[in-house]
């Protein structure tokens, strides 16, 4: 869990609150079966599914039902029969392990209008997944992205990526604890 976040279980929904966003996950007997992000305003919740991946290639999530993500514990490999079962999802590698090429694929999908400019700058500054998760406004400015609105857009996309990674971690922990309990 990231600093500044606090989990709350309210009415069967697990809420993770940080100053920027709240995420809730409905719990079922099989683990987390649905995830939704909600924007800052608690009185008017806008439901947006957490972004499930990069592209529809081999390094992306293969989501067979919208809004659902599940994964086997890391030590266990996923069989072909599990991949064909509804609700089972093959997940990409964690963002922290992304290469420059993976980051460029993510940029192409999430920042299509400025993709080429960003990709060149990100390659020049050796931005891998680990560095992507640590970007700040100041770092982006030093990388040559001078317009504040462009920097804020990138940081918003990175924040959504962080939320997705936090949800993924919670899913793995929840699933592992459910599988180990009698």
Beta-carbon-side half-sphere exposure of residue 150 (alpha carbons within 13 Å): 16
In-domain check, residue 151: yes
pLDDT at residue number 176:
82
pTM of the model: 0.51
H/E stretch holding 180 reads: helix 148-180
CA distances from 9 to 12, 99, 174 (A): 6, 36, 14
H/E stretch holding 120 reads: helix 115-124
In-domain check, residue 1: no
Count how many domains the chain has: 2
Q: Kindly state the DSSP code that residue 91 receives in the 8-state scheme.
A: P
- What is the extent of the structural domain holding 71? 6-92+166-180
Which tokens is 103 given? 């980051």
What is the residue-level pLDDT of the chain in tens, covering all 182 positions? 444 545 555 555 555 544 444 444 444 444 444 444 433 333 333 333 333 444 333 333 333 334 444 444 444 433 333 333 333 334 578 999 999 999 999 999 998 888 888 999 999 999 999 999 999 999 999 999 999 999 999 999 999 999 999 998 898 888 888 888 76
* 120, 2, 32, 98: CA torsion to nearest 10: 20
């Amino acid at each position: 869990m990231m600093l500044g976040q606090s989990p709350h279980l309210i009415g069967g929904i697990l809420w993770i609150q940080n100053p920027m966003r709240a995420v809730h996950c409905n719990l079922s007997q099989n683990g987390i079966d649905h995830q939704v992000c909600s924007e800052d305003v608690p009185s008017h919740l806008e439901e947006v599914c957490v972004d499930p991946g990069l592209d529809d290639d081999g390094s992306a999530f293969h989501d067979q039902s919208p809004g659902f993500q599940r994964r086997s514990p890391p030590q266990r490999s996923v069989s072909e029969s599990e991949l064909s079962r509804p609700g089972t999802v093959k997940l990409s590698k964690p963002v922290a392990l992304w290469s420059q090429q993976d980051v460029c694929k993510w940029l192409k999908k999430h920042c299509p209008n400025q993709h080429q400019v960003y990709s060149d700058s990100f390659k020049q500054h050796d931005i891998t997944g680990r560095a992507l998760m640590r970007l700040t406004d100041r770092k982006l400015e030093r990388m040559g992205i001078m317009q504040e609105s462009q920097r804020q857009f990138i940081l918003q996309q990175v924040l959504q990526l962080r939320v997705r990674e936090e949800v993924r971690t919670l899913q793995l922990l929840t699933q592992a604890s459910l599988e180990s309990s009698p």
